Chains A and B, each alone.
Chain A
C-alpha cells in the first residue's frame, strides 16, 4: 500500500511517500525548483517520490493533505473582519491565492497528478504531531506542537499511544510563540519564516541574564504567561493579525527604535533584544513542558512545529523538565507535515501497526556513479576517480586537514533544513581562520553566525556536555550543548560565543562513509570533529543534483568537490562566470 502526503501553499512545500507504513521517499520542493522555501504545489517532489519506487500515480492508494483549507480560510476571514478596515490591503493581495489555489486542493491534485482515488485532510497541528510521534521510537509519549499558526491552533499538547494521537488542548490564533519569534525577527531586520534561526544565533551575543537584560522585562510585559505555560499577548503590540507587517508602532516604541533596516549592523541593543526573545521563549516553553508532563505523566516527549527547530532551547529540555527522553523529527516545521499526514492515514485512520522508526534523514534523491560520471563527461569537467572507499576517505580527510574547503556530495539528499553529511561543505574546525575562510569563500553569511560541528556518537561526550544517553535528535543537528571549556581554543571555529555548539552526532549505521571520514580526520588532527555546513550559498536551497553542486563549487571558493567516487578540483576547471555573491541576498 502506497500513501502520498502533500504539504504546500504556506511555506516549505513537500511530499512524502509511505510504502506499507515505511517512509521510502520524502523531499521538499525547493530542492528541485531552487527557490528557497518554495510554497508551490510540490509536483517535482511528488514526481521524485513516485520515480524512486518505479510506480505511477495509479499505484497510490491515498493522498493526504496536511491541513483543512476551509477551516484555515475561516480564520483568515475572521482576521479580515476583526481588522476592518485596516485589513483592506492584505485582503486585496492575499484573497486571490485562496480562490485560485488554496481552496482548490482536490481539483489541483486531480488535474496535475491525474489522480482519481481518495484525498484525505487532517488538521495542521495533527499533521505536526503525527510527523513527530508516529515515526518516533516511543510507544507512548507526550506531544507538544508549537508553530506560527495552522488553521486556528498555534500551540497544542496531547498524548500519543501506539497508533493513536489525542491532542487535548490548544492555544488559538492570534496568540502564538512562533509569531512572536517571527515578529522580533522582522523587527531585527531579518526575513520572516526564514531567518528565525539567525536570531537564535544572535542571542548569545546579548545579555542572557534575566535580571540585567533591559528588554527581557519589556517583552514579558506584553505577554500574560500562566503557571501552566498557557499565554496570551497584548495584541496592541502586534499587527500580524490584520496586515503583513509584523511589529506595531507600539512595539517599536517599547523596544526603543524603528524596525531595523535589512542588512544593518547588529548593535548591542539588537543582540540584547534577540537574547530577551530567546529567554522569554524558553520561559514559556519550559512552563508548557512541565505542565504537559504533569498532565500526561509520560517520560517521553515528542516535539513538532517550527519552534521545535529552536535547537538552543531543545538542548535544555531534558535538564529543565522531568522528561527523560526526547524526539524531534529532522523536518519539524511545515515541510515535515507531508510525512505526518501520510503516517497518520496509515497508522491511525487505517489502524495499521507502526512498523517504522526514523533512524536517519536520508530520504531524498541520490545519483549513481554512472549518472555522475555521465554529467562530468558531458560537461567536459576535469576529475579524478577514487579507487575505493578507503582512498576516498584518506584523501578527503587529508584535504580537509590541509585547510581546504570540501564539498561533500554522497548518497541520498537530506530531509529537512539541515545538511547532515549527504550535501555538506566540510572544513577543518581546528583552524582558527576556518570560519573566516568559509564566510569569505562560500557562505557570505553574517559574521555572528557560528558553524556547526559534526562528531561520531562515540566521541561526542568527550567534547560536548550532552544529555546522557545522547538523544536521537542530536543526529539531526537539533540540540545545542556546551562544549567543554578545555576544547574551546582547540576547535574555535565551531565554538559559539557562549561556549556552545550545535552539534550533529553521526552513528556508523546511518552513514558509514561520513563516519569513517570523521574518524580518519581525527587520526590526522587529534580531534575527530569536522565543520559541517549546508552545501549552498546564503539565500539558496541546499544543492540537490550533481549540476547544482558543481555550479555551487565553481561560483564560490570551495576548493574540492567529492561527489560519489569522483574528486573535482576547482582550479582544474574553468571558473564559471556565475558569481555566488550576487545571489547571497538573504
Chain B
C-alpha cells in the first residue's frame, strides 16, 4: 500500500515537473513569437500608419454600420474555417 502511494506520488511529481517544464518552454517560445513576430509587425505597421482595429470615433460620419452581406454560399465554402 505504502509502495503504491509512493509510486503514485512519484508519478504525480513527474507529471507536475513535466507540466512546469512545458509551461516554461512555451512561455519562452511564445515570448519570442510575440516580440519578434508581433513586435516587428507592429513597428512596420506603425511606420506605414496601418491600424489593426478600427478604434477611431468619427462624429462626422452618418453611420457606423458596415456592409456584411452574408448570404447563402456554395457548399464548398462551408468546409472552410475562414
Contacts and interface: CB of A to CB of B under 8 A. Distances in A.
Interface string A221-243: 00010101011111100000100
Contact of A70 (B55, B65, B81): B81
Given A84-B39, A119-B79, A166-B70, A173 B61 contact: no
Interface residues of B, number: 38
Interface string A455-498: 00000000000000000000000000000000000000000000
A153 B52 CA distance: 15
B70 to A, nearest CB: 4
Interface stretch (A74-82, A296-304, A307-315, A523-531): A74-82
A226 to B, nearest CB: 5
Given A174-B55, A349-B78, A91 B66 contact: no
Given A68-B80, A224-B59, A230-B64, A81 B72 contact: no
Given A81-B42, A81-B52, A91-B38, A164 B65 contact: no
Contact of B63 (A74, A166, A228): A228
Contact of A164 (B64, B72, B75): B72
B66 A172 contact: yes
Interface stretch (A120-128, A319-327, A532-540): A120-128
A506 to B, nearest CB: 36
Given A91-B34, A95-B30, A349-B78, A82 B55 contact: yes
Interface string B49-82: 0011111011101111111111110010011111
B66 A234 contact: no
A211 interface: no
Interface residues of A, number: 58
Interface in A70-116: 70-71, 74, 77-82, 84-85, 87-88, 91-92, 95-96, 103, 105-106
A235 B55 contact: yes
Nearest to B73: A349
A348 interface: yes
Interface in A119-169: 119-123, 125-126, 153, 156, 158, 164-169
A123 B77 CA distance: 11
A231 B64 contact: yes
A532 to B, nearest CB: 38
B57 A232 contact: yes
Given A71-B82, A170-B66, A226-B64, A81 B31 contact: no
Contact of B41 (A81, A95, A121): A81
A79 B53 contact: yes
A226 B30 contact: no
A348 B52 CA distance: 33
Interface string B5-35: 0000000000000000000001100110111
A48 B60 CA distance: 54
Q: Which of B66, B68, B71, B72 has the most CB of A within 10 A?
A: B68
A370 interface: no
B33 to A, nearest CB: 8
A235 B41 CA distance: 22
A95 B57 CA distance: 29
Contacts of B81: 68-71, 103, 105-106, 121
Nearest to B66: A170
Interface centre among B30, B53, B66 (most CB of A within 10 A): B53
Contacts of A74: 82
Contact of B34 (A88, A165, A171, A232): A88
B46 to A, nearest CB: 9
Contacts of B79: 118-121
Q: With a 10 A CB-CB cut-off, give which of A92, A118, A241 has the most chain B CB atoms.
A: A92
A31 interface: no
Given A69-B81, A122-B78, A170-B68, A226 B63 contact: yes
A241 B53 contact: yes
Nearest to B26: A96
A167 B70 contact: yes
Given A78-B53, A121-B80, A173-B53, A232 B64 contact: yes
B81 to A, nearest CB: 5
Contacts of A158: 68, 70
A84 B53 contact: no
Of all A-B residue pairs in the complex, the 4 with the closest CB atoms, nearest first, are: A230-B64, A70-B82, A78-B52, A167-B70
23 contacts: A68-B80, A68-B82, A70-B80, A70-B81, A71-B82, A74-B82, A78-B52, A79-B53, A81-B42, A81-B52, A82-B55, A87-B38, A91-B34, A92-B27, A118-B79, A120-B75, A126-B70, A169-B65, A170-B66, A171-B65, A171-B66, A226-B61, A241-B55
Given A158-B68, A349-B75, 16 more contacts: A71-B81, A81-B42, A82-B51, A106-B81, A153-B68, A156-B70, A166-B70, A167-B68, A168-B68, A170-B68, A171-B66, A224-B59, A226-B62, A228-B63, A230-B65, A234-B57
